[in-house]
Amino acid sequence: MAGTRDIKRKILSVKNTQKVTKAMKMVSSAKMRRATEATLATLPYATKITEVTLSIASCVNDVTLPLLEKPKSVERVALLVMNSDRGLCGAFNANIIRAVSKFQQEHKGKEIQLYIVGKNAYDHYKKGSLEIVDKWISLGGKVSFETAKYISDTITSAFLAKKFDEMYMIYNEFKSVSYQAPREMKIFPLSLNVDAAETDTEYLFEPNPVGLLEELLPRYITFMIYHSLLESAAGEHGARMVAMDNATRSADDMIKKLTLNYNKARQAAITNDLLDIVNGAEALKG
């Protein structure tokens, strides 16, 4: 019965793993729901700050501000990469890594600097050839406005100090629970689509629109970072929930197969024992 004992140990091991995957699925489901609610709660603010920023920009489109100033040539490109701290979330992290590789090919010959959010991406690139300027890791999947502001202030100061000519951001955009798509977005220099400023609201500026825009642009950048962090967090938890659900289903299928093999092995062992008894009885009669 040695074979049946091995199968029983495998069944027990798979059942223990299944308990873990079920628990992780439930935790990820709760976290995803909170992250999704936080993302949806920012939409009214997103709509209004975009409307106000574009409206003011349409009034001062003949003025060049530092955050809007385009470089004469692009030699150094910075990339803000958003990934997760932990794995076990399907292709969530791998999709970002592939998107960064594609970005490298598109900007071949230029110096690329990395600003990284997430331990997974940091572990991947820390031994590579790309320069990691700054990192924010071990956030535990928690997104706070303070963290977004700190990241925003850091990259804004670096751009104003001319440490790079352009900056892009790559993160997983939350489409649905089962689908997160890598998205590339340009951060610096800011490109405001003034033609999109369609609103019936008329604004009175005090003291002047240029001063207001200078104050508003850093807030606009901070919100871009914050909203991207929220979407990335929601996508991570959604991807992990789906991955753990698939793992739980696979464990269930494996348990069924192992149970069938166990029953077959047990039946074979019983049959062999019966044959030994019958053969022994026949030998005694003979």
What tens digit of pLDDT does each residue of 102-116 get?
A: 999 999 999 999 999
Least trusted range by pLDDT, from 48-62, 195-209, 240-254: 195-209
Q: How far is CA 276 from CA 62, 136, 263, 270, in A?
A: 99, 69, 20, 10
Superfamily for domain range 44-241 = ATP synthase, F1 complex, gamma subunit (3.40.1380.10)
pLDDT at residue 39 above 70?
A: yes
Length of the chain: 286
Tokens (6 digits) for 158: 């670096």
Strand order from edge to edge, sheet including 166-176: 131-136, 111-117, 76-82, 166-176, 179-188
Q: Please tell me if the domain spanning 2-24+244-285 has the same topology as the one spanning 44-241.
A: no
Q: Which is more confident, 271 or 188? A: 188
The phi, psi pair for 279, rounded to 5°, reads -65, -40
The alpha carbon torsion through 149, 154, 158, 160 (nearest 10 deg) reads 40
Instruction: pLDDT band for 172, please (50, 70, 90 cuts).
Output: very high
Active-site option among 11, 89, 239, 258: 89
**59 in catalytic set:** no
pLDDT tens by residue, 70-122 = 888 899 999 999 999 988 898 999 999 999 999 999 999 999 999 999 999 99
Q: Does residue 229 contact residue 143 with C-beta atoms inside 8 Å?
A: yes
Domain-wise residue ranges, the chain: 2-24+244-285, 44-241
Class of domain 2-24+244-285: mainly alpha
